[in-house]
């Protein structure tokens, strides 16, 4: 084969950690090497600096999520997109969202104002003018909750999305949706939804059986907690 070819591959958080492990066998590699470098050019330069100074010591410890988000974002006041990926390769932007809080544990709280007239996914209720969505996104977590509220603060319901581990980049939160989700209705009912879509994704070879089992385990744990 003499010609050139290009493959675009969507690396998620787990893939980046596997690449870190492979790289670490030949050169000092800090936790989150590929994850941090994917965020910004300045972050990439910072990783190179840390590894050159710390040497083998860079391989010890956990991913420095507090330092990374504090230095490069997202942090309170920032606007970010929410990159809602699908297992078949599509991606939707659920933003823009305004960051209202950042925690040292790698959680950012974002708020979106909703366009009236549609229906809440999974809740079956109408979106009214002034309704808002408050989402908590935590680096590395396999799920995230969104609380929908009316203009007077009344909770319309909570939707918990099950996904690949969340990544918080300076301008975007990113993950791949794993279809199955958990809904906490305003009346207290807890419902697991879209299992059929996950089954279809497995049959289409877009999700491995092992990943589907993980998604269902996460959904079970979330439903039990609610």
Residues 82 and 182 in one domain: yes
Residues 104 and 202 in one domain: yes
Residues 115 and 29 in one domain: no
Residues 211 and 112 in one domain: yes
Range of the domain at 91: 74-225
Asked whether residue 7 is domain-assigned, the answer is no
Positive or negative, the CA dihedral 64, 108, 69, 16 is positive
- 99 cis-preceded (ω within 30 degrees of 0): no
Positive or negative, the CA dihedral 176, 158, 153, 165 is negative
Asked whether residue 127 is domain-assigned, the answer is yes
**Helical H segments across the chain, by residue range:** 13-24, 33-37, 41-54, 65-72, 195-203, 209-225
Residue carrying the six token digits 């994850």: 35
pTM exceeding the 0.75 threshold for the entire prediction: yes
The full 3-state SS of 113-174, as one line of letters, equals ECCCCCECCCCCCECCCCCEEEEEEECCCCEEEEEEECCCCCEEEEEEEEECCCEECCCEEE
Residues 147 and 192 in one domain: yes
CATH number at residue 133: 2.40.380.10
Tell how strand 91-93 and strand 79-85 pair up.
antiparallel
Residues 55 and 118 in one domain: no
**DSSP 8-state symbol, 58:** G
Residues 51 and 86 in one domain: no
Report how many domains make up the chain.
Answer: 2
Name, in order, each residue with C-beta under 8 angstroms of 11's C-beta and a sequence gap of 6 or more. 19, 34, 38
Asked whether residue 182 is domain-assigned, the answer is yes
**DSSP 8-state symbol, 59:** G
Name, in order, each residue with C-beta under 8 angstroms of 142's C-beta and a sequence gap of 6 or more. 162, 163, 164, 165, 214, 215, 218
Q: What is the pLDDT along the chain (226 residues), one digit of tens a residue?
A: 567 778 888 888 999 999 999 998 998 888 899 999 988 888 888 888 778 667 655 555 678 888 888 888 899 999 999 999 999 999 999 878 999 999 988 899 999 998 888 888 888 888 999 999 999 999 999 999 999 999 999 999 999 999 999 999 999 999 999 999 999 999 999 999 999 999 999 999 999 999 999 999 999 999 999 9
């Amino acid at each position: 084969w003499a010609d050139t070819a290009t493959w675009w591959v969507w690396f998620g958080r787990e893939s980046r950690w596997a690449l870190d492990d492979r790289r670490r066998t030949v050169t000092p590699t800090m936790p989150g090497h590929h994850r941090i470098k994917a965020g910004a050019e300045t972050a990439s330069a910072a990783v190179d600096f840390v590894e050159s100074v710390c040497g083998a010591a860079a391989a010890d410890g956990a991913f420095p999520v507090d330092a990374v988000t504090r230095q490069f974002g997202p942090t309170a006041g920032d606007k970010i997109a929410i990159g809602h990926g699908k297992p078949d390769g599509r991606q939707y932007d659920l933003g823009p969202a305004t960051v209202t809080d950042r925690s040292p544990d790698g959680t950012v709280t974002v708020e979106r104002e909703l366009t009236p007239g549609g229906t809440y996914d999974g809740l079956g209720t109408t979106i009214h003018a002034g309704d808002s969505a408050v989402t908590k996104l935590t680096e590395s977590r396999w799920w995230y909750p969104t609380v929908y509220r009316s203009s007077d603060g009344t909770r319309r319901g909570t939707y918990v999305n099950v996904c690949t581990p969340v990544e918080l980049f300076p301008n975007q939160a990113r993950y791949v949706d794993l279809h199955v989700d958990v809904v906490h209705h305003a009346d207290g009912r807890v419902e697991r939804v879209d299992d059929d879509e996950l089954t279809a994704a497995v049959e289409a070879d877009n999700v491995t059986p092992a990943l589907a089992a993980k998604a269902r385990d996460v959904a079970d744990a979330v439903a039990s907690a609610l």
